[in-house]
Amino acid sequence: MSLEPQELNELKSKIGREPTSTELQIVAAEWSEHCSYKSSKRHLKMLPMKGPLVITEKGYDSGVLDVGDGYVVTAHIESHNHPSAVEPYGGAATGVGGVIRDILSAGTRPIAIFDGLRFGDIEKDQQARWLFKNAVTGIADYGNCLGIPTIGGEVEFDRCYENYALVDVAAVGFGKKENLIKNHAKKGDIVVLMGGSTGRDGIGGSQFASDSLESEDRSAVQIPDPFIEKLIIEAILEARNEKLIHAMKDLGGGGLSCAISETADALEIGIEMDVDKVHTRESDMHPDEIMVSESQERMLIVTSKTKFKKLQEICKKFRIGCSVIGIVKSDNQMHVKKGKKTFANLPTDVVANATLLDLPSKEPAYLKNIEKEKKLKPISDYSKIMMKLLASPNIASKIWVYGQYDHEVGIRTVVKPGRDASVLRLDNGKFLSVKIDGNPKQCYINPREGAIGCFEEACRNVVCTGAKPIGMLDHLQFGNPKDPEIFWTFLESLKGLTDFAKDYKIPCVGGKVSLYNETPDGPIKPTPLIGVIGLIDKTPQIPQIINKDDCLIIVGETKDELGGSEYFEYIHKFIGGKCPTVDFTESKKNMKSVLEIIPKKLLKSVHDCSKGGLAVAVSELSMNNQIGCKVDLNKVPAKKLDADRILFSESHSRYLLTFDKKNLSKVEKILKKNKTSYEIIGKFGGEKIQFSKGTKSIIDLRVDKAQKTWLNSLKDLVLHG
């Protein structure tokens, strides 16, 4: 956990002398992969970051989107994978805390949390079960205490995460444009550390996260305290209203080292600080420890001497620590002292800008034959297979998870979790719809098409609520980038996302790269996670109860794309086959049609087809509404496919529209006008989920029985194994 030999030489030549031990600690933290993005940064530039709604300011840790009427939405995504794999409760909880402070840094109030959780096979692996259970409790205890609703996310299990965990957290904030913190500082301003005390937890956390997980370094995991975080949120928003903040940054990876050097570098100033002024948890901490501690719930604020008094009063009201630790200079140096003695004095641009790498890449050998299918065992009873899928951990209802999260606090949640995307109401009468999606099974088979698929799926989900995608967050999670084959998958995914973002004109407003996600057993599957933020001007599609004789239309074509599907992987235990690909033209046409129909209030619900394919999507509609449904597979737009392919293919760009049959002609008119591929495939009624091919019955299930299995199987698995 230190600099590599060539990096040490580089540092020496840049500063023209031997670095001190404190300087080494500071630079090692800041030049770690986690803080510097040294392997990925030069490639990330390909993503489009600008757009008519994007507001950019220097030093922001979150993306800002203008949602009209003087309001903005902020968004950010982070992960806390290494810590969560070792200590899931604290790791997941502090993951929430970190991303919340990024939202706060811009001067906006956090209004929603989303998390993507990935673990090993919980049916077989007890440790995965333990990690899952405790990560969920960690998120619940933290988010609930803050009073920020956790309204969405996803949970997935795959053997590639054995002895590991991916815990991704996204957050969204809301505020007035005029209240955004416009980071600035001038000579003589003071630097204040606010919030929790600095202790010995999380020391070396960013370096820990920048290497393969081989040992359980628990001291590198931070300790959560949501109560202090809640006090910080309220204190900072009060200080924001009083205009007391010139610049602000949260303390995350790399602790003070990172916050001080990055703030100074972004604002082109120097900062001189005294470690003796930092309020610490223990009395005998060494300057090195103080500089790299990743203790949570701390914020760095730049303000003027005259405003500080008011800031101090606010902190006193909330009884949170508030220390003047330094002063702004004009020399562009990061100067760390203890009393009068200097421990570090470095140019900020050297600290904050690690030399970027240009790593080699090579197409992995395994990809050559992976899209070839093997011969599958014939299935005699599809009803039985269907029940098995509904009970499978990846498809079963996640109510056990989101039922532990307060998803109503803040009284904005219009569409609750458990649907396609959750919807929040905003103060200007508009609505926000957000979804995060990943699909490592497909990304493993085809890193480019898989990543595009995640992006399209997240878009599809917000489109189902009537929202137009206005921004995306990307979180790119891969193994060791120094392995050219892994780095190739990273680049392919990134290129795919870039092409999609450019074509659909959806700017990337924030992101994170997490590398070295591997254990001695090997790397994870490529796991890009995409968050899409959608805006609804007037009418959100709020799911209404489906009644007898309501119609079901499918929009989009079902193709022979079972690679990475739950059907192949869970039922047939086969990894491979053709990965679903997105046809941009068709995809955009379908989105346009759905977004044109929704405001006309003709529909009862819109649901997308994804994991488990058409069969699972239709079953979900039936189970959520406790009503049967009869579907004829011969009517589904698909080119001469067998029943199992129509049922379980995970082709993209497909939507299920349900509506009262009296609206049929109006719905069809819009679909026809836009030349959308669609078909009426069934109607609701009765107590059974039935799929037939012509007159031949394929699946025949009681809704109540299916629903009971679907709702309870994940909880039963977690609690009883």
Partner 1 sequence: MKVGVVVFPGSNCDRDMYHVLTDVFNLDAQYYWHEKSLPKNIDAIILPGGFSYGDRLRAGVIAAHSPIIKDVQKMAKKGIPVLGVCNGFQILVESGLLPGVLLKNESLNFMCEWTNLIVENNKTPFTNQFKLREKIPIPIANGEGRYYVDDETLKELKKKNQIVFRYDEVVNGSSNRIAGVCNEDGNVVGMMPHPERAVESEINPIDNKPSSLIFESLLSKMGVSN
- Return the active site residues: 34, 80
DSSP state of 542: -
- Closest to partner 1 by CB, 151 vs 579, is 151
Instruction: Compute the least distance from the CB of residue 220 to partner 1, in Å.
Output: 24
Please tell me whether residue 711 binds partner 1 under the rule CB under 8 A.
Answer: no
Asked whether position 146 contacts partner 1 by CB under 8 A, the answer is yes
> Toward partner 1, which CB reaches closer, 110 or 438?
110
CA angle 218-62-22, nearest 5°?
A: 45
Strands 688-693 and 629-632: parallel
Q: Which is nearer to partner 1, 231 or 532 (CB)?
A: 231
| Alpha carbons 634 and 640: distance in angstroms, whole number | 9
What distance, in Å, lies between the first and last C-alpha atoms of the chain? 38
Chain-centre distance of CA 454, in angstroms? Answer: 12
3-class SS of residue 633: helix
Count of residues touching partner 1 (by CB under 8 A): 31
Q: Is residue 538 near partner 1 by the rule CB under 8 A?
A: no
In whole angstroms, what separates CA 243 from the centre of its chain? 31
Is the dihedral angle over the CA atoms 391, 396, 397, 403 positive or is it negative? positive
CB of residue 110 vs partner 1: minimum separation in angstroms? Answer: 12
Is 614 a binding residue for partner 1 by CB under 8 A? The answer is no
Contact between 27 and partner 1 (CB under 8 A)?
Answer: no
From candidates 107, 138, 226, 450, binder to partner 1 by CB under 8 A? 226
When the beta carbons of 407 and 512 are compared against partner 1, the nearer one is 407
Number of helices (H) and strands (E), helices first, in the chain?
A: 25, 28
Spatial distance between the Cα atoms of 510 and 65, rounded to a whole number of angstroms:
11
Q: Nearer to partner 1 by C-beta: 282 or 427?
A: 427
Upper half-sphere CA count for residue 516 (Cβ side, 13 Å): 19
- Compose the 312-331 pattern: x for residues touching partner 1 by CB under 8 A, - for all others: -----xxx------------
Q: How far is the CB of 411 from partner 1 (least distance, A)?
A: 5
**Would you call 126 helix, strand, or coil by DSSP?**
helix
Structure tokens at 79: 């992960």
Query: Which listed range, 36-44, 75-83, 399-407, 442-450, lies at the site for partner 1 (CB under 8 A)?
Result: 399-407
Question: By the 8 A CB rule, do 501 and 508 touch?
Answer: yes
Closest approach, Cβ 103 to partner 1, in A, equals: 16
Cβ closer to partner 1: 281 or 338? Answer: 281
Site string for partner 1, 37-66 (x = CB under 8 A): ------------------------------
Residues 541-560 that bind partner 1 (CB under 8 A): 542
> Taking contact as CB under 8 A, which single stretch among the options 118-126, 133-141, 211-219, 553-561 is the one that binds partner 1?
133-141
The strand ranges marked E within 638-719 are 655-659, 678-684, 688-693, 696-702
Tokens representing 210? 């920048």
Q: The tokens of 44 are what?
A: 């990330």
Query: Judged by CB under 8 A, which of 425, 495, 635, 693 binds partner 1?
Result: 425
Q: Which of 140, 472, 555, 571 binds partner 1 (CB under 8 A)?
A: 140
Quick one: tokens of 393?
Answer: 């951990």
Examine residue 70 and tell whether it contacts partner 1 (CB under 8 A): no
144 near partner 1 (CB under 8 A): yes
Nearer to partner 1, 127 or 404 (CB): 404
What's the closest the beta carbon of residue 144 comes to partner 1, in angstroms? 6
Here the tokens at position 612 are 């488990």
Nearer to partner 1, 234 or 503 (CB): 234
Largest distance between two CA atoms of the chain: 88
Asked if 176 is part of the footprint of partner 1 (rule: CB under 8 A), the reply reads: no
User: To the nearest whole angstrom, how small is the minimum distance from the Cβ of residue 542 to partner 1?
Assistant: 8
Stretch that binds partner 1, among 152-160, 396-404, 571-579, 600-608 (CB under 8 A): 396-404
Rule CB under 8 A: choose which of 7, 141, 537, 668 binds partner 1: 141
CB–CB of 188/328 below 8 Å?
yes
Interface with partner 1, residue 404, by CB under 8 A? yes
The Cα 368–Cα 446 span in angstroms is 10
CA distances from 448 to 366, 380, 410, 659 (A): 15, 35, 38, 36
Choosing from 120, 175, 410, 563, the residue that interacts with partner 1 (CB under 8 A) is 410
Question: Any bridge partners for residue 631, and if so which?
Answer: 682, 691
Piece of 201-209, 311-319, 372-380, 486-494 that binds partner 1 (CB under 8 A):
311-319
Q: Judged by CB under 8 A, which of 249, 337, 412, 688 binds partner 1?
A: 412
Distance CA 235, CA 712 (A): 42
User: Helix 584-597 and helix 664-673: axis angle, to 10°?
Assistant: 140
Q: Looking at beta carbons only, is 410 or 510 nearer to partner 1?
A: 410
What's the closest the beta carbon of residue 234 comes to partner 1, in angstroms? 8
Query: Is 367 a binder of partner 1 (CB under 8 A)?
Result: no
114 binds partner 1 (CB under 8 A): no
CB atoms inside a 10 Å sphere around CB 278: 21
630 touches partner 1 (CB under 8 A): no
Q: What is the dihedral of CA 195, 196, 198, 203, to 10 degrees?
A: -110
* Binding flag, residue 413, partner 1 (CB under 8 A): yes
Residue found under tokens 């610049």: 247
Task: Give me the amino acid identity at 87.
Answer: E
Which segment (201-209, 219-227, 452-460, 635-643) binds partner 1 by CB under 8 A? 219-227
Site string for partner 1, 481-520 (x = CB under 8 A): ----------------------------------------
Smallest separation, CB 413 to partner 1 (Å): 6
Take residue 477 and report the two structure tokens written for it.
């999670």
Cα 596 to Cα 428: distance, rounded to the nearest angstrom: 22
Q: Taking Cα atoms as reference points, which of 392, 469, 439 lies closest to residue 581?
A: 439
Say if CB 508 and CB 455 are below 8 A apart: no
Q: Yes or no: say if 474 and 528 are a contact pair by the CB < 8 Å rule.
A: yes
CB 259 → partner 1: shortest distance, Å?
Answer: 25
Residues that bind partner 1 (CB under 8 A): 137, 140-141, 144-147, 225-227, 230-231, 317-319, 402-414, 416, 425, 542
